[in-house]
């Protein structure tokens, strides 16, 4: 007897070749997502979009629903080049056009007897007059797939960017009004106001390596741009204890001193790496009690050395893809790692960090539902799992899929970080820069993303996949993108004059500010913070005449 797997979908069409007026008259992106199975399907987003606006007579029919033995599908007509389809509804959605096949544009871990929600998307490289969007099981089991509440919603490039900017303006910025008065509380019209942002609230940083030590040009370049760092390899077990019992934190200590001296926050990466290839060679030869003693010693040593120094710890890196320790120490090994790390450093946020979660949905080991399922399993066993780490090693980014996956992860109400962002070196540097900007804009504009880290530590021979500069710190195309966005995502310097109410207002990025008010030859200053929220921040300055 066949299992019946129901799920409902949302599809969002992003049309990249159309133009819109500067006044936004298009749809607003709907970030709705679900992780639980529903007894009844929800209503389609956008009222179904294109699927609900089929012509009654004449005109173009955009989609035809088909139901076949191997799964339901839609025939989509007149798809245009540079068109992104974002949708939501282990089922996999795929797309086949005349020119190419998109292996996976969305997945959901569907359950029998209830409605699961799938959300994903794709970008066409060539126009298509007739394409098939189809849904299939990934493990070959004989199942019946039912669809409900499909939605297909078009967005132009300008509309998609408008949605990004709207989210940035509402979640990354806040209004502030400066009030100036004399010592008696009388309003002072015509006072000159100078506002300067002195620090940013949003953590934006990069990996660093030991190559930064003693390298003043590298240090100056880094400090000028970033407020967050992560050590590329220097905290990993094979780096701190290459030979059993010979623990050496000299390099990581020096890197931490650089971070502290420049008021930069740092992520702890990592305590353990489940990939045996990156486990110390001597530890790979241990089993049972000997290995347990070695891992206990590793955690205790590392936590004692760096308690309260790092804001995060990647506890058991890439545990969705590898299981070295659980194979050797049993299924509770990971649980033990998290429990011990939390007891040793209770103020640090503990992350589950992995790849191919937002980069693709083709990797069955790390689909969004697989990630959520593993995280919940650990939480149910008492693990203090506080953070979602998305490595973000992209080749060709699928932007609506990326956004849809983050939408779904956001339902967990945990901090989400893009932890190792880069673009594959299989692409030329100009293409890397284009894709990097797309990924960074998607990440920064999503309200649930709490920080972004680039994986661009510089070595004499280059970087892991993508460098921002050459060895003389001259920007490469990706470096130009980063500098452009850093400039765009800061308030910088604002200057104005108080009005008849003695007030001056701006809309600034979240962070710390210094404000100076000048009236005649008298000056007063203060500092304030913009921490987010819909309410306007009010700051009062009193000038003694």
pLDDT tens track for 305-356: 999 999 999 999 999 999 999 999 999 999 999 999 999 999 999 999 999 9
| CATH fold label, 207-489 | TIM Barrel (3.20.20)
Determine if residue 96 is left, alpha or beta; phi over 0 gives left, psi from -120 to 50 gives alpha, anything else beta: beta
Asked whether the beta carbons of 312 and 349 are under 8 A apart, the reply is yes
Q: State residue 276 phi and psi, 5-degree precision.
A: -60, -25
Amino acid 102: pLDDT: 73
Quote the CA–CA distance of 477 and 452 in Å, as a whole number: 19
Distance CA(465)–CA(449), nearest Å, equals 23
Q: Phi, psi at residue 115, to the nearest 5°? A: -100, 120
The tokens describing 133, both together, are 């969007």
Burial of 399 (0-12, 13-18, 19+ CB in 10 A): buried
SS3 100: coil
Indicate the domain borders of the chain: 37-54+62-166, 172-197+493-542, 207-489
pLDDT for 45: 85
The residues annotated as belonging to the active site are 318, 420
Give SS3 for 45.
helix
Per-residue model confidence as pLDDT tens digits over 84-124: 655 644 455 677 777 777 778 788 887 777 888 888 877 77
Q: Give the chain's residues under pLDDT 70.
A: 1-24, 52-72, 77-93, 138-143
pLDDT at residue number 49: 77
Nearest CA-CA partner of 164 in 503, 440, 530, 381 = 440
Rounded to 5 degrees, what are φ and ψ at 104?
A: -145, 125
Q: Looking at domain 172-197+493-542, which CATH architecture does it have?
A: Sandwich (2.60)
Pairing of strands 143-148, 101-108: unpaired
Q: Which of 106, 45, 16, 36 is nearest to 402 (CA)?
A: 106
Question: Please, what's the largest Cα pairwise distance for the chain?
Answer: 88
CB 134 within 8 A of CB 93: yes
pLDDT, residue 72, reads 65
Cα separations in angstroms, 451 against 236, 425, 433, 517, 542: 22, 24, 20, 33, 36
Q: What pTM did the predictor assign? A: 0.91
């Amino acid at each position: 007897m066949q299992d019946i797997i129901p799920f409902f979908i949302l599809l969002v069409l992003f049309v990249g070749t159309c133009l819109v007026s500067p006044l936004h008259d298009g749809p607003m992106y709907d970030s709705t997502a679900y992780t639980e199975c529903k007894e009844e399907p929800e209503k389609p987003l956008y009222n179904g979009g294109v699927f609900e606006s089929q012509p009654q007579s004449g005109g173009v029919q955009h989609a035809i629903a088909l139901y076949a033995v191997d799964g339901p599908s839609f025939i989509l007509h007149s798809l245009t080049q540079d068109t992104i389809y974002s949708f939501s509804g282990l089922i996999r959605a795929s797309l086949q056009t005349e020119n190419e096949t998109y292996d996976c544009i969305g997945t959901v871990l569907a359950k029998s007897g209830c409605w699961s929600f799938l959300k994903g998307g794709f970008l066409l490289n060539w126009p298509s007059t007739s394409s098939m969007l189809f849904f299939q099981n990934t493990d070959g089991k004989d199942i019946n797939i039912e669809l409900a509440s499909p939605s297909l919603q078009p967005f132009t490039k300008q509309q998609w960017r408008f949605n990004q900017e709207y989210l940035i303006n509402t979640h990354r910025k806040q209004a502030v009004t400066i009030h100036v008065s004399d010592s008696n509380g009388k309003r002072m019209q015509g006072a000159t106001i100078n506002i300067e942002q002195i620090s940013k609230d949003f953590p934006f940083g990069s990996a660093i390596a030991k190559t930064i030590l003693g390298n003043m040009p590298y240090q100056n370049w880094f400090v000028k741009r970033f407020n967050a760092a992560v050590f590329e390899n220097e905290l990993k077990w094979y780096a701190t204890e290459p030979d059993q019992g010979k623990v050496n934190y000299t390099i990581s200590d020096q890197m931490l001193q650089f971070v502290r001296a420049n008021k930069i926050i740092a992520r702890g990466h990592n305590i353990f790496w489940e990939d045996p290839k990156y486990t110390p060679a001597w530890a790979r030869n241990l089993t049972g009690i000997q290995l347990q003693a070695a891992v206990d010693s590793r955690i205790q040593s590392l936590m004692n050395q760096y308690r309260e120094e790092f804001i995060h710890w990647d506890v058991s890196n890439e545990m969705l893809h590898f299981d070295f320790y659980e194979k050797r120490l049993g299924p509770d090994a990971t649980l033990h790692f998290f429990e011990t790390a939390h007891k040793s450093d209770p103020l640090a946020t503990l992350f589950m960090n992995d790849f191919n979660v937002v980069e693709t949905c083709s990797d069955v080991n790390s689909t969004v539902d697989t990630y959520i399922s593993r995280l919940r399993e650990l939480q149910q066993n008492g693990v203090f799992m506080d953070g979602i780490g998305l490595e973000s090693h992209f080749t060709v980014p699928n932007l609506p899929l990326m956004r849809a996956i983050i939408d779904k992860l956001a339902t967990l109400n945990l901090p989400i970080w893009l932890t190792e962002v880069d673009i594959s070196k299989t692409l030329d540097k100009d293409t890397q820069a284009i894709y990097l900007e797309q990924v960074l804009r998607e990440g920064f504009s999503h309200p649930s993303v709490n920080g972004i880290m680039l994986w661009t530590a510089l070595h004499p021979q280059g970087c892991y996949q993508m460098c921002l500069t050459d060895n003389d710190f001259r920007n490469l195309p990706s470096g130009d993108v980063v500098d452009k966005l850093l400039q765009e995502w800061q308030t910088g310097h604002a200057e104005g004059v108080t009005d008849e109410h003695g007030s001056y207002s701006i809309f600034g990025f979240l962070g710390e500010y210094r404000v100076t008010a000048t009236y005649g030859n008298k000056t007063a200053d203060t500092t304030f913070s913009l921490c987010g929220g819909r309410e306007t921040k009010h700051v009062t300055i009193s000038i003694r005449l």
